[in-house]
Amino acid sequence: MASITAPRTAPVSDDVPTYIPTQSAYLRSIRTPLLLVIVLSVIVPAVLVAAISSAVNINNATNRAYEQMETVSTLKVSQIGFWVNLLEDEANAIAVDDEHLLLVRQAEPNSAFPTLRDQAQADLDLLYTQALFQTTQFESLDLIANDGKLIAGTERRPLLFQPVDAPQPGEIVIIGPLVTEGELAMAAWYPVFDGDRFLAYFGGAVSMDALYDILQDQTGTGEGIETFLVDAEGHIIASGEDEDLEDDHVHVLGETTVDFMASLDMSDNSLVRISEFDSHTGEDTFGVVDNSLPLDTLLVTEQAENDVLNAAYLSVLGSAAVTFAAVLIVIVLGVFFIERRIVRPLKTLSTTANQVAGGNLTQRAVVNRADEIGVLATSFNTMTDQLQGLISGLEERVELRTRDLQLAADVSTKVTTELDPDQLLPELVEQVRSAFRFYHVSVFVYDPKTDTVDLKAATGEAGAQMLTVGRSFNLGRGDTGVVPTAAKTLDYCLANDVTKSEAHLPNPYLPDTRGELALPMIVGDQLVGILDLQSEQANRFQDDDIRVLGTLADQIAVAVRNAQLFEVVQDALASAEQANSVKSHFLASMSHELRTPLNAIINFTKFILKERMGPITERQADALDKVKTSGIHLLNLINDVLDISKIESGSLALIVDNDVDIPHLIDRAAATTDVILADKPVALKMDVAADLPPIIGDKQRILQVLLNLLSNACKFTEEGSISVKGYQDGDNVVVQVKDTGPGIAPEDHYKVFEAFQQTQTGLDQASGTGLGMPISRRLAEAHGGSLMLESAVGEGACFTLTLPIASELLEVEDA
């Protein structure tokens, strides 16, 4: 899985790109989010539960601490209550004694027996001293009037007494504990009544040892709980801890505590819980304040916060440790699970996918699970199966197409190599039949003269028989069948099941035909013929086949058309060759047959003109001269026609010598001009270099060219001059013949060298054959040279003959 999102790295194999998970990809692996989900789903509730349970734990611990402190507080209050009752009982036991009562009546300030007062006071002093030994809780015993005056007693001083508005019988008045004169003190006063009449208070300083004992007693109160008494100013009056009272028994609680205590509303509740206040010890503390003491003080019970919560904290710590351990186990198991059950199978699947991508289509993923990954692997295998099927199907199609193309190529080769239709068509039909495994293949060729398609090639024994008998469809007459239908519509005609087709005509030679397809063979928009295909199976022809076969039909059409054209050309060529041969033969015969009588005409005329047969008159000579000239003209005509004929048939052969003397040939040609020029005012100017080298060439032919150039110049020049220049130009010998004749218009120059194309001036001069210049140019070219014309109307003409000294075209013959 990781590999899919991984960046492409350099391919390791030739073409197949492979995905390699990189280090960073490992971090992006699916295991990271999965793990995160698992861990979060474990940690969050675990932490929540731990937090809640911790809070509950702490709350419970606090509550328990409070309850414990309340219990302790209540216990202490009740113990102190008992103690106060003990004080009452002791005071009461002495007070209500009859002797004591009598003495008090006598000693009190309002006594009815004032005389007895002093005695009574003395007796009381004695009595109290004796009684002091018997009491456990009093440190002094005195009798005090309501106005505070001491009547009698061990101390004989008023101690810790405050007057009471309306003393009630049996109600002991407790003063303190309080700090007085730097000392902590406490007193208890018991009202003494005579009947309903209040007499005086009896009591004294109280020993606070018992109180201390009560506060110090920690039996059953648990560790760390302290109790102490606090007065309204925040002084600690009494405490369970001795050290608390070391400094003159006075400790003042922290100021914030004092304020806090003052703010407490104790009106309704005897017990109030306080928390997190600064104790005199400086620690954060929980506590309970109790105002139900029968004393003028509050009872504070406290416990250090740490003592209370340590246990809770410990339990929180424990549960946190357990949670952490659980999370750790979950992570380890999660990693194991993800790796084993998700990542590893996905990696395996990914490797398989890469192999498939690399072309190994036989590779399949291992499916051994029913979960989503198993489903994925199954889907992957299904996909690969389809891919493999697709590719192998593709290969099959490619194979088919390759065969088609091969066939098309073969046909093309046939088309270009085999031009004989009688050879071509039988091979084509056989090739198509075997390539496509058809039952029968035939080609009909369209004949526009008869408007028929005629069977020209067909496969097999049946084909041979049909060809012998002949098979033809007339399109004009409206013949029916698959073949004529295709021919008429110029579109294919298909009978995929001949039993159901109306177009198909049963053919006795082909009894097994079940399907027939006729494809028109068309070149341009002209019907060439029909390619007829027959199959032994119904529905053999599908769209694909029809397309390919249609292309094939077009190709065969081109082949047939080419062959037809080739036939036409062959015929034309044969007749042309025949005609040419006839012409050559005719020319040769004509030449031969004309020369013999011309031999007699020209020579006898010359003999007579030379008066070999006796004297002749001037008129006779004149007439005979015309006969001679005409004879020579006729001879020249024959020669020129023969030359042109040779040139055009390519049979002009030069008789080559290696010592052709150009100046000599020029002289010989120039010698003939006298006769032609006769008495015309034309000067012949010769300028031929004496040291021209001999050249390789045909003497007679070069002379022929020079004669032609000079006679041409003479003929067309009525006055002026003819200049003949001969010189060497590099590897060439150049002969220039320039006249002052009428000249030739540039647009007519081509005509000069074109056979049977005389210029107007040439036509005006009836004496030429019009073949001299064309022959001369061809002769010059046959030597590897050239013949060029420079001329304009009115400026004369200049012909330049250039001949190579040693032409590469010529070979000197051994003679």
Work out how close the CB of 730 gets to another protein at its nearest, in angstroms, rounded to a whole number: 29
Selected from 216, 672, 721, 728, the binder of another protein by CB under 8 A is: 672
Among 660, 656, 684, 681, smallest CA distance to 672 is for 684
421 neighbors 557 (Cβ within 8 angstroms):
no
What residues between 698 and 757 interact with another protein by CB under 8 A?
700-701, 703-704, 707
User: What's the DSSP call for residue 366?
Assistant: -
- Min dist CB 460 to another protein, Å, is 53
Q: To the nearest whole angstrom, how small is the minimum distance from the Cβ of residue 679 to another protein?
A: 17
Tell me how far, at minimum, the Cβ of 410 lies from another protein, in Å: 45
* CA-wise closest residue to 410 among 396, 429, 438: 429
Q: Give the nearest distance from C-beta 596 to another protein in angstroms.
A: 5
Nearer to another protein by C-beta: 234 or 772? 772
| Of residues 185 and 779, the one with the C-beta less far from another protein | 779
Quote the tokens at residue 455: 């069977």
Nearer to another protein among residue 226 and residue 698 (C-beta): 698
Residue 651 interacting with another protein (CB under 8 A): yes
Q: Checking DSSP bridges between strand 682-688 and strand 720-729, what pairing results, if any?
A: parallel
CB of residue 577 vs another protein: minimum separation in angstroms?
17
CB closer to another protein out of 154 and 639: 639
3-state secondary structure 513-553: CCEEEEEEEEECCEEEEEEEEEECCCCCCCHHHHHHHHHHH
Question: Which residue matches tokens 């019907």?
Answer: 527
CB neighbours of 554 closer than 8 A, spacing ≥ 6? 521, 522, 523
Q: How far, CA to CA in Å, does 796 sit from each of 669, 673, 709, 743, 760?
A: 20, 18, 13, 4, 15
In whole angstroms, the minimum distance from the beta carbon of 707 to another protein comes to: 6
| 684, HSE (Cβ side, Cα atoms, 13 Å) | 21
CA atoms within 13 A on the CB side of 371: 5
- Residue 708: both structure tokens together: 């032609």
Contact between 639 and another protein per CB under 8 A: yes
CB of 583 to another protein, least distance (A): 13
- The torsion defined by the Cα of 233, 234, 238 and 243, in degrees rounded to 10, comes to -130
Residue 673's contacts (CB-CB under 8 Å, 6 or more residues apart) are 684, 710, 711, 714, 722
Coil, strand or helix: which one is 467?
helix
Mask of contacts with another protein, 533-572, x by CB under 8 A?
A: ----------------------------------------
d(CA 427, CA 419): 12
Q: In what order do the strands lie in the sheet containing 797-804?
A: 682-688, 720-729, 732-739, 797-804, 786-791
* Secondary structure of residue 389 in the 3-state scheme: helix
* Closer residue to another protein (CB): 314 or 655: 655
Asked if residue 678 binds another protein (CB under 8 A), the reply is no
Of 154, 636, 728, 786, the one binding another protein (CB under 8 A) is 636
What is the side-by-side strand order in the sheet with 440-447? Answer: 472-474, 452-458, 440-447, 526-535, 515-523, 493-495
Q: CB of 641: closest distance to another protein in angstroms? A: 12
Do 479 and 472 form a contact (C-beta atoms < 8 A)? no
Least separation, in Å, of the C-beta of 416 and another protein? 36
| Residue (403 or 592) nearer to another protein, CB | 592
Between residues 428 and 656, which has the closer beta carbon with respect to another protein?
Answer: 656
Is 655 a residue that touches another protein (CB under 8 A)? yes
| DSSP secondary structure, 628-692, as one string | HHHHHHHHHHHHHHHHHHHHHHT------EEEE-HHHHHHHHHHTHHHHHTT-SEEEEEEE-TTP
From the list 10, 166, 370, 675, which residue makes contact with another protein (rule: CB under 8 A)?
A: 675
Tokens describing residue 82: 């008992």
Candidates 336-344, 550-558, 634-642, 719-727; binding stretch for another protein (CB under 8 A): 634-642
- The closest of 391, 386, 403 to 544, measured between CA atoms, is 403
What minimum distance in Å lies between the beta carbon of 603 and another protein?
Answer: 4
Residues 718, 777: contact at Cβ < 8 Å?
no
Q: Judged by CB, which is closer to another protein: 607, or 756? A: 607
d(CA 432, CA 556): 11
According to CB under 8 A, which one of 325, 366, 565, 653 is a site residue for another protein?
Answer: 653
The residues near 529 (Cβ < 8 Å, ≥ 6 apart) are 443, 444, 445, 446, 453, 456, 520, 521, 557, 560
Judged by beta carbon, residue 43 or residue 642, the one nearer another protein is 642
Q: Which C-beta is closer to another protein: that of 354 or that of 639?
A: 639
Count of residues engaged in binding another protein, rule: CB under 8 A: 36
Q: What x-and-dash track marks residues 566-605 binding another protein by CB under 8 A?
A: ----------------------x--xxx-xx-xxxxxxx-
Q: Output 553 or 710, the one with its CB closest to another protein.
A: 710
Considering the complex, state which of residue 653 and residue 812 has its C-beta at the smaller distance from another protein: 653
Binding-site member from 272, 376, 467, 642 for another protein (CB under 8 A): 642
Using CB under 8 A as the binding rule, whether residue 310 contacts another protein is answered as: no
Asked if 533 and 438 touch (Cβ cutoff 8 Å), the reply is yes
Is the CB of 523 or the CB of 601 nearer to another protein? 601
Question: Residue 675 in contact with residue 625, Cβ under 8 Å?
Answer: no
**Token pair 């047959």 in the structure block, residue:** 593
* Shorter beta-carbon distance to another protein: residue 140 or 704: 704
Distances (CA, A) of 735 to 118, 416, 795: 202, 50, 19
* Residue 636 or 728 with smaller CB distance to another protein: 636
DSSP code per residue over 584-596: HHHHHHHHHHHHH
Does residue number 809 form part of the binding site for another protein (CB under 8 A)? no
Binding residue for another protein (CB under 8 A) from 156, 273, 369, 606?
A: 606
Give the range of 56-64, 105-113, 440-448, 695-703 binding another protein by CB under 8 A.
695-703
| Region of 266-274, 320-328, 459-467, 629-637 interacting with another protein (CB under 8 A) | 629-637
Judged by beta carbon, residue 441 or residue 602, the one nearer another protein is: 602
Among 652, 745, 798, 809, binds another protein (CB under 8 A): 652
CB of 422 to another protein, least distance (A): 36
Stretch that binds another protein, among 179-187, 455-463, 508-516, 606-614 (CB under 8 A): 606-614
Site string for another protein, 430-469 (x = CB under 8 A): ----------------------------------------
- Rounded Cα distance, 584 and 601, in Å: 25
Beta bridge partners of 300: 228, 289
Nearer to another protein, 350 or 776 (CB): 776
Distances (CA, A) of 417 to 405, 425, 434, 574, 746: 18, 13, 20, 20, 47
Angle subtended by helix axes 98-107 and 31-95, to nearest 10: 80
Q: Which is nearer to another protein, 232 or 590 (CB)?
A: 590
* Window contacting another protein (CB under 8 A); options: 208-216, 293-301, 627-635, 745-753: 627-635
Interacting residue with another protein among 372, 612, 617, 618 (CB under 8 A): 612
Asked if residue 336 binds another protein (CB under 8 A), the reply is: no
Applying CB under 8 A, the residues found at the interface with another protein are: 588, 591-593, 595-596, 598-604, 606-607, 612, 631-632, 635-636, 639, 642, 646, 651-653, 655, 672, 675, 700-701, 703-704, 707, 813, 815
